[in-house]
Amino acid sequence: MAAEPRPIVLLAVPPHPDGRALLEQEATVIECAGLTEAAVIAAAEEAEGLLIRHKPLCTESLMAACPRLRVVGRYGAGLDTVDLAAATRVGVAIVHAPDANAPAAAEHALMLMLHCVKNTRTTDRMARAGDWRQVRYQGITELRGKTLGIIGVGRIGRTVAQLAAAFGMRRIGFDIALSSDELRRRGVEPVDSLEALLGGADIVTCHTPLTERTRKLIDRAAVARMKRGAIFINTSRGGVHDETAVYEALVEGRLRAAGLDVWEQEPPSPDNPLFRLDQVVCTPHVAGVTEEADRAIALQVTGEMLRVLRGDKPEALANPEVWPRPLQRL
């Protein structure tokens, strides 16, 4: 009796080798030569699974043009590059890795906070130049005793709260999706509005997905509500904050410092004015991509893809209302 043909999975991102090995146990794995929508559609004629990261965007036109597609794996936690409503209409399951990179992203946020309070950009430059003047002591402070305002207390925000507790910080949190009791269970004191958080925090850190509701959430008005001398941290998505508003507040001294891992345009232009400020610590969207997180992401998302291809409901299904329609596309 002939064995059933193995499903084909198309890779539009090179996963960690352990993730690829897991896929290859049950599927035929092929790589896409390009990252445009047209290139993926051309390569996905027989594919039942597609693994993507940032490019191409997972649009309705892409999914509809792949006749055998049953599951798309988003290589990471965020879903802002995926049209979830369209996936449900077309009948494609969207799986992702919501748990895998929370420790990495939370550590990165704390690292940015530490750089900001310790003035490491300035003191590093002074040390390399042999400049040991007394001015090197100026402005160095501690996290202990500071109030940390966490916007978005999901997996990453909750982990940030846990780490901040070890530094002796007071943690306040705001999340429109969580009750006050749940916020307390996640290690933060609930506040009843974003405005209350902004006005009460010494450091504001963003851990919210990018949606139409959160786009430019930190705009001029929001920055104006922050304490004078506050620090702003964003490791979520660049679209959550207005770079011009943050820059202006830094130049005027209303914000003391900022730690930014995400940008409105990625990669940002080399002449982005934020790069000229010593009080800004910059990283290139790497908060959630440690070696450990990359492996964990790969294993979680490829494992979820295989569940769909076997006919089992996945645990990290971003559009649960689609189930079991992926089985009905063939």
Of 285, 295, 325, 329, the catalytic one is: 285
285 assigned to active site: yes
Separation between Cα atoms, residue 310 and residue 299, nearest integer Å: 16
Separation between Cα atoms, residue 66 and residue 68, nearest integer Å: 6
- The SS3 call for residue 170 is strand
Separation between Cα atoms, residue 154 and residue 311, nearest integer Å: 29
Q: By the 8 A CB rule, do 99 and 299 touch?
A: no
Separation between Cα atoms, residue 208 and residue 155, nearest integer Å: 10
What is the rounded end-to-end Cα distance, in angstroms, of the chain?
A: 22
Task: State which H helix or E strand residue 297 sits in.
Answer: helix 291-310
- The SS3 call for residue 190 is strand
Separation between Cα atoms, residue 87 and residue 78, nearest integer Å: 15
237 assigned to active site: yes
Of 266, 276, 292, 310, the catalytic one is: 266
Give the other-Cβ count within 10 Å of 286's Cβ.
13
266 assigned to active site: yes
> Tokens in use for 29?
């794995």
Q: Kindly give the residue spans of alpha helices, DSSP state H, lying in 95-154.
A: 102-118, 120-128
> Tokens in use for 158?
């909750």
Of 237, 241, 256, 307, the catalytic one is: 237
- Just list the catalytic residues: 237, 266, 285
